[in-house]
Amino acid sequence: MKHLLSLESLSALDMRAILDRVPEFKLHRRLHARPLTGHTWALIFSKSSTRTRVSFEVGLRELGAQVLFLSAADIQLGRGEPIQDTARVLGSMVHGAIIRTFAQADVDAFASFSLIPTVNALTDQEHPCQILTDIFTFEELTGESIEGKIVTFVGDGACNVPTSWIFAAARLGFELRIAAPRQFWPDPELLRRAGAQEDYRWDLRPTGITERFTVGAGIVELMVDCQLAARNADLLYTDVWVSMGKEAEAEDRLRLLSGYQINDSLVALARPNALVMHCLPAYRGKEIDGATLEQHAKTIFTQAENRLHVQKAIIAWMTS
């Protein structure tokens, strides 16, 4: 049985197997066969969502399945029923599950107890469907492989989105630069898990240092200076400064991350024709300047639309 629980647990071969099938779903959106006819899939969400919810609901229906949206607040899970019990009950009734929640361990436990194909639709640790979509979108819009390219992530370098980017870099062989204040750098343990040989202890380093690691087939660079990180980048990428679940830290985060905005002067440092992406929702004037977002709206909203096509390819890969 196949699951998509994280990019950490996905091989380069499987990433390519998914990405290779996306054009089939995008080009033949309504003509495609309906392989999930007779299936019912559950979406179990403990956090808000626009793109992920709608793209999975529409995508599953277009593949022939019926869909149940279960807000965690409305089922017994929200009142403390263990995930293992929820998983065993749903596993006996539905054919697959899409889960958005806090702890990665809950998605992993759901997959092992339910015995049905399970997709991570965002946890505090990873957002694998988003980053597979971003890579598809980069390759679609540039006509080039992401291998060997420079991707610069600017902002909260310790949240789920850059973490999935780290594992993507390790598998697909590109350079990922993360520009963030040091308290928003990814955990050293994470880089070790991605394959970094060298240890790092940022508490022992002077401010301003760049750390460079070989991780699997790729490279990860951690930087404090976002202008340095933007130089010659093929893709500039950002995400919200206050991820879901971090609302209590909002004031500190807005202050500490205020220099880490994608704007015209940062874009000017990247390669000519560099792409600018945002996983959305966007907070204009915070992680991205409003005018820059509008200049790159075609890329950013193609990225959003592609969630639908990529996730259909993910489901097809899991169920075929």
Footprint on this chain of ligand NVA (rule: CB under 6 A): 122, 159-161, 239-240, 243-244, 279
CB of 223 to ligand NVA, least distance (A): 20
Contact 63, 318 (CB under 8 A): no
- C-alpha 257/C-alpha 277 separation (Å) is 18
CB of 51 to ligand CP, least distance (A): 4
CB of 195 to ligand NVA, least distance (A): 23
Expressed in percent and rounded to 5, the helix, strand and coil fractions of the chain are 45, 15, 40
The 10 Å Cβ neighbour count of residue 134 is 27
Q: How far is CA 90 from the centre of its chain?
A: 26
Contact status: 303 vs ligand CP (CB under 6 A) = no
Contact status: 293 vs ligand CP (CB under 6 A) = no
Task: Answer with the entry of ligand NVA, ligand CP, none that 50 interacts with (C-beta below 5 to 8 A by kind).
Answer: ligand CP
Return the bridge partners of 98, or none.
Answer: 43, 119
Among 119, 279, 315, 316, binds ligand CP (CB under 6 A): 279
The 10 Å Cβ neighbour count of residue 198 is 11
Parallel, antiparallel, or unpaired: how do β-strands 211-215 and 175-179 relate? unpaired
Among 280, 282, 305, 318, binds ligand CP (CB under 6 A): 280
Among 130, 152, 163, 238, binds ligand CP (CB under 6 A): 130
Contact status: 278 vs ligand CP (CB under 6 A) = no
CA angle 303, 304, 308 (to 5 degrees): 105
Contact 102, 137 (CB under 8 A): no
Contact status: 301 vs ligand CP (CB under 6 A) = no
Could you say which residues in the range 4-63 bind ligand CP, by CB under 6 A? Answer: 49-52
Nearer to ligand CP, 175 or 239 (CB): 239
Point out which residues bind ligand CP (CB under 6 A): 49-52, 122, 130, 279-280
